Structure 1
Amino acid sequence: MPRHIYDCNEGCPVESTLQIISGKWKSVIIYHLLNKEVCHFGQLQRELKDCSRRMLALQLSDLEKDGIIQKNIYQADPLRTDYQLTEFGKTLAPVISSMAVWGKLYNQKSIRK
């Protein structure tokens, strides 16, 4: 039986999506922002226990450059920073939600083995 080959030439929509959400932590960051709306850097760091502070900062910076999240800086002592999804970032909700549903199914299947 021939295997189905996806046509992912230049401009492929799947490749475009993966460019934005690929990386170990970007989808997880978006997932947490969808559930909490606004997160401080420290909150995200606690949620992503295995993500180093430097990696979290890099992933947040990439998401900000891509217009997925907005960084808010508050002039307080100490300086406070939080993040929220942009309107464009919120359009990823169905993608991330589908990933969460599939991940739960996979986790349940893995537990049964």
Structure 2
Amino acid sequence: MKKTAEINKTPVCKVRMQAISDVMSLLSGKWKFHIIGTLIEGNTLGFMDLLREVNGIGSKMLSKELQDLEMNKLISRTVHNTKPVTVSYAITEYGQTLLPMINEMAKWGVNYRKMVFNEHVI
């Protein structure tokens, strides 16, 4: 029988754990899922629209999170030639691939709250 430490060193396990670590790092924090979900639902939104929609986030934090999400190709940023200059953000095709995972996480979270807190969701 293999020891746990040996099992975790299999090539398949290493790849899976690295992939999970990448996802956790990429989507970590309080705001990224909220921003992504808002853009999935709202299509293209301006900075101020996002600031209003993502309840509780400050402008500096929103700016940082948008930069991270853009750098990782989950959202796109478009600068419009207006006066004053305006910027809009949209979910990318690749960012859309997060929707099934977000839906599953929401479903799991509802079931978790039912089980642990005996909550009834309408």
TM range (shorter): 0.7 to 0.9
What percentage of aligned pairs have identical amino acids?
A: 31
C-alpha displacement at 1:76, in angstroms? 0.8
**Equivalent in 84, 96, 118 of residue 90 of structure 1:** 96
Aligned residue number for residue 13 of structure 1: 19
Aligned residue number for residue 67 of structure 2: 61
Q: Deviations over 1:84-110 (max 9, x none)?
A: 111111111111222233344556675
Q: Gaps spanning 5+ residues in structure 1: where?
A: none
Aligned positions, number = 110
State how 1:23-42 maps to structure 2 within 5 Å: 23-42=29-48
Query: What CA RMSD, in Å, does the superposition of the two structures yield over aligned residues?
Result: 2.7
**Equivalent in 84, 87, 106 of residue 81 of structure 1:** 87
Q: Deviations over 1:34-85 (max 9, x none)?
A: 1111111111101123111000000000000011110011011221111111
Q: Gaps spanning 5+ residues in structure 2: where?
A: none
Could you tell me whether the CA contact under 8 Å between 1:71 and 1:81 is conserved in 2? yes
Larger CA Rg, structure 1 vs 2: 2
Letter in 2 for 1:63: L
Could you tell me whether the CA contact under 8 Å between 2:36 and 2:91 is conserved in 1? yes
